[in-house]
Structure 1
Amino acid sequence: MKALRIIDTDDGPRGRLDEIEQSALTEGNVIIKARYSSLNYKDALAITGAGKIARQRPLNAGIDVAGVVESSDDDRFACGDEVLVTGWLLSETRDGGLAEYVRVPADCVTRLPAGLTLWESMALGTAGFTAAMAIKRMRDNFQRPEQGPILVTGAAGGVGNFAIEMLAQAGFAPIAVTRRVEAQGEWLSELGATDVIAPETLDLGGRPMGSESYGGAIDALGGSVLADMLGQIVQFGNVAAIGLAASPKLDTMVLPFILRGVSLLGINSVECPSQWRAAIWSDLAAELKPAHLDQIAAQTIGLDQVHDVCDAIIAGEHAGRTVVEIAR
Structure 2
Amino acid sequence: MNEAFRALVLNQKDKNVTARFEDLTVNDLPDGDVLVRVKWSTLNYKDGMILNGLGRLVRTYPHVPGVDFSGEVISSNDDRYKPGDDVVLTGWRVGEAHWGGYGQLARVKADWLVPLPDGLDAAQAMAIGTAGFTSMLAVMALEEQGVSPDQDGEVLVTGAAGGVGSVAVSILSALGYRVAASTGREETHAYLRELGATSIIDRNELTDTSKPLLAERWVGAVDSVGSTTLAHVLSEMKYHGVVSACGLAGGPDLPGTVIPFLLRGVRLIGIDSVMCPYETRVRAWQRLAKELPKEHLSAATTKVALGDILPWGEKILKGQVKGRLLIDVQDCEHP
TM-score normalised by length of structure 2? 0.93
Query: Which residue in 1 is equivalent to 2:120?
Result: 116
Who is 1:325 aligned against?
328
Q: Do structure 1's residue 191 and structure 2's residue 195 form an aligned pair?
A: yes
Q: In the alignment, does 2:128 pair up with 1:128?
A: no
Asked if 1 retains the 8 angstrom alpha-carbon contact of 2:179 and 2:196, the reply is: yes
| Deviation (angstroms), 1:85 | 0.5
Amino acid at match of 1:16: R
Identify if the C-alpha distance between structure 1 residues 320 and 203 changes in structure 2 by more than 3 Å, giving closer, same or farther: closer
**Of 42, 45, 50, which residue of structure 2 is paired with 1:41?**
45
Deviations 1:277-328 (A, max 9, x none): 000000000013443101111x222221010211221222221212111238
TM superposition shift of 1:9: 3.2
The aligned counterpart of 1:177 is: 182
* Aligned with residue 303 of structure 1, among 283, 298, 306: 306
1:4 aligns with 2:5: no
Task: Read off the aligned partner of 2:168 and give its amino acid letter.
Answer: A
Could you tell me which residue of structure 2 aligns to residue 163 of structure 1?
A: 168
Task: Look up the equivalent residue of 1:91 and give its one-letter code.
Answer: G
Residues in 1 aligned to 2:48 and 2:328: alpha-carbon distance in whole angstroms: 17
Q: 2:291 aligns to what SS in structure 1?
A: coil
Structural RMSD (CA): 1.5
Give the corresponding residue for 1:263: 267
Note if contact 1:166-1:290 (Cα within 8 Å) is conserved in structure 2: no
SS at match of 2:141: helix
Distance 1:132 1:295 in 2: 18
SS in 1 for 2:309: helix
C-alpha contact (below 8 Å) 1:86/1:125 kept by paired residues: yes
Is the partner of 2:147 in helix, strand or coil?
coil
Map residues 1-328 of structure 1 onto 2, 5 A cutoff.
Answer: 1-10=5-14, 12-145=16-149, 146-180=151-185, 182-204=186-208, 206-297=210-301, 299-327=302-330
After the TM superposition, list the runs of 4 or more consecutive aligned residues in structure 1 that deviate by more than 6 angstroms: none
Greater shift, 5-14 or 132-141, is seen at 5-14
Corresponding residue pairs, total: 326
Q: Secondary structure at the match of 1:54?
A: coil
Q: How many Å apart are 1:220 and its aligned residue?
A: 1.4
Amino acid at match of 1:22: V
Q: Per-residue deviation at 1:80?
A: 0.7
User: How big is each residue's C-alpha offset from its partner over 1:157-178, in whole Å with a ceiling of 9 and x where there is no partner?
Assistant: 1111111111101111111111
Deviations along 1:217-239, one digit per CA (max 9) or x if unpaired, are 11111111111111111122110
Structure 2 SS opposite 1:286: helix
Q: Distance in 1 between matches of 2:157 and 2:296?
A: 17
- Residue pair 1:157, 1:320 contacting (<8 A) in 2 also: yes
1: CA distance between counterparts of 2:128 and 2:87? 14
Judge conservation of contact 2:49–2:55 (CA < 8 Å) in 1.
yes
* Structure-1 separation of matches of 2:168 and 2:324: 13
Q: 2:13 and 2:319 mapped to 1: Cα distance?
A: 25
Q: Deviations over 1:39-86 (max 9, x none)?
A: 111111111223332221111110111111011111111111000111
State the TM-score, normalized to the length of structure 1: 0.95
Task: Indicate the SS of the match to 2:59.
Answer: coil
Checking the alignment, whether the CA contact within 8 Å between 1:14 and 1:46 is kept in structure 2 is no
Of the structure 1 ranges 141-150 and 164-173, higher mean CA displacement relative to structure 2 is found in 141-150
Name which of structure 1's ranges 308-317 and 83-92 shifts more when overlaid on structure 2. 308-317
| Rounded Cα–Cα distance in structure 2 between residues aligned with 1:16 and 1:228 | 42
CA contact (8 A) 2:156 2:181 kept: yes
In the alignment, structure 1 segments of 5+ residues that lack a partner are: none
The amino acid of 1:268's aligned partner reads D
> Which amino acid in 2 is paired with 1:89?
R
Cα distance change on mapping 1:264 and 1:179 into 2, 3 Å: same
In the aligned structure 1, how far is the partner of 2:148 from the partner of 2:290?
20
For 1:324 and 1:149, locate their aligned partners in 2 and report how far apart those are by CA, in whole Å. Answer: 34
| One-letter code aligned to 1:277 | R
